[in-house]
């Protein structure tokens, strides 16, 4: 388990370091020594794929943080302040100061761009629990829940704040700075319960509402999922390829090129080429984390013939060069 908790003034460099230790590589439009937060900033990353993020801090400047989210489900409770974020191409705004505490969640079926807008003088108090799709798969061997979530596609939803959610959120905030065995086990249990609560609300709402229209057509989602599975195989077998040979997918899936591209974009809000590019960079980044892969080898894995081109793409995607990323993990 990785535990990263700070209760003080945080600049952009420190925030980036804390995020990377939890498996994220954010890109901040702020100077390295620019003050971003004053207060509590906590990340707990469990080895099994569960992550708990707690914040009770004043935002000290206007800036935007960007990152590519991996397939996951994310459930949050905003107790105070305002939150603005963009998932894919859609912006979402939540305001606990005007409307009271807000429960929100998101499903990210494929690597998807995410942005968070920070506003000076905004005091935010929130808890966010994230579970990777691998974490869900281990607990849902028949993939019933995952199938329902994939039917919905990339989306954000809300549900009513109630006494149960309040108790869970307050408990997670109180446990955010604790490190004892009892606290760690309790925090994981509370986080799992909060995550399940958000998922049950969404799945139950979608299943029981007879008039509810699915956000994404089920047939399109099936096509998108089939394309994604073939893309993952293609990426592994063709590490040098910068572009996907769509003719192979056309033959394997019996779809035209236009249908392939349209179905995938509608299902996952990202183009096939962007998905492949992001996944290759993610794989290369993960290989650098283990300390046994050189930058040249990582460039080859991402499909780049020259390390300099790879370094530019890596920094554009993650906000840090490959060399600096390696140093941060040391």
The model's pLDDT over 179-236, given as tens digits with 9 standing for 90+, comes to 888 888 899 999 999 998 888 776 655 544 434 444 334 444 677 778 888 888 888 7
The model's pLDDT over 226-243, given as tens digits with 9 standing for 90+, comes to 888 888 888 877 766 767
Range(s) within the chain of domains with CATH label 2.60.120.10: 2-208
Looking up tokens 């499909």 gives: 303
Is residue 60 predicted with pLDDT exceeding 70? yes
Widest pairwise Cα distance in the chain: 57
Looking up tokens 């914040």 gives: 55
Mean predicted lDDT score pLDDT of the chain: 80
- With cut-offs at 50, 70 and 90, classify the pLDDT of residue 47: low
**Range with the largest mean pLDDT of 86-95, 141-150, 287-296, 315-324:** 86-95
Determine the topology of domain 218-328 in CATH: Arc Repressor Mutant, subunit A (1.10.10)
The pTM (predicted TM-score) of the whole model is 0.64
- pLDDT reported for residue 82: 95
Q: Please measure the distance between the N-terminal and C-terminal CA atoms of the chain and give it in whole angstroms.
A: 17
DSSP string of 236-251, one letter each residue: HH-TT-SS--HHHHHH
For Cα atoms 73, 36, 47, give the angle at the middle one, nearest 5 degrees.
Answer: 35
Range(s) within the chain of domains with CATH label 1.10.10.60: 218-328
The proportion of the chain whose per-residue pLDDT surpasses 70, expressed as a percent, equals 81
Q: Which two tokens stand for residue 152?
A: 């919905």
In 3-state terms, what secondary structure has residue 270? coil
* Cα 50 from Cα 22, distance rounded (Å): 10
- With cut-offs at 50, 70 and 90, classify the pLDDT of residue 76: very high
* Cα 175 from Cα 190, distance rounded (Å): 10
Determine contact, residues 324/25, Cβ cutoff 8 Å: no
> In terms of Cα–Cα distance, which of 215, 110, 206 is closest to 159?
206
CATH 2.60.120.10 fits 2-208, yes or no: yes
* Cα 240 from Cα 7, distance rounded (Å): 45
The model's pLDDT over 132-182, given as tens digits with 9 standing for 90+, comes to 888 887 887 766 676 666 665 567 888 888 888 999 999 999 988 888 888
């Amino acid at each position: 388990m990785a535990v990263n908790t700070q209760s003080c003034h945080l600049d952009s460099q420190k925030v980036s370091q804390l995020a990377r230790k939890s498996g994220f590589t954010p890109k901040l439009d702020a100077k390295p020594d620019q003050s971003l937060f004053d207060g509590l900033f906590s990340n707990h990353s469990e080895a099994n794929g569960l992550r708990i993020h707690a914040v009770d801090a004043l935002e000290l400047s206007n800036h935007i943080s960007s990152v590519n989210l991996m397939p996951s489900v994310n459930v949050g409770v905003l107790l105070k302040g305002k939150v603005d974020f963009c998932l894919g191409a859609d912006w979402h705004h939540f305001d606990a100061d005007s409307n009271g505490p807000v429960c929100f969640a998101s499903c990210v079926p494929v690597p998807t761009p995410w942005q968070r807008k920070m506003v000076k003088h905004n005091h935010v108090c929130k808890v966010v629990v994230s579970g990777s799709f691998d974490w869900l798969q281990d607990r849902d061997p028949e993939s019933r829940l995952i199938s329902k979530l994939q039917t919905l596609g990339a989306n954000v939803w809300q549900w009513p704040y109630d006494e149960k959610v309040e108790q869970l959120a307050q408990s997670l905030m109180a446990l955010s700075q604790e490190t004892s065995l009892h606290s760690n086990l309790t925090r994981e249990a509370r986080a799992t319960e909060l995550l399940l609560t958000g998922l049950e609300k969404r799945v139950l709402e979608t299943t029981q509402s007879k008039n509810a229209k699915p956000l994404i057509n089920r047939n399109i989602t099936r096509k998108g999922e089939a394309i994604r599975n073939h893309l993952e195989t293609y990426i592994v077998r063709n590490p040098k390829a910068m572009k996907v040979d769509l003719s192979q997918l056309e033959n394997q899936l019996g779809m035209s090129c236009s249908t392939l591209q349209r179905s995938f974009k509608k299902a996952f809000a990202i183009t096939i080429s962007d998905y492949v590019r992001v996944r290759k960079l993610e794989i290369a980044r993960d290989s650098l984390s283990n300390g046994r892969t050189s930058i040249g080898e990582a460039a080859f894995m991402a499909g780049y013939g020259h390390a300099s081109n790879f370094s530019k793409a890596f920094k554009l995607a993650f906000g840090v060069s490959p060399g600096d990323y390696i140093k941060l993990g040391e």
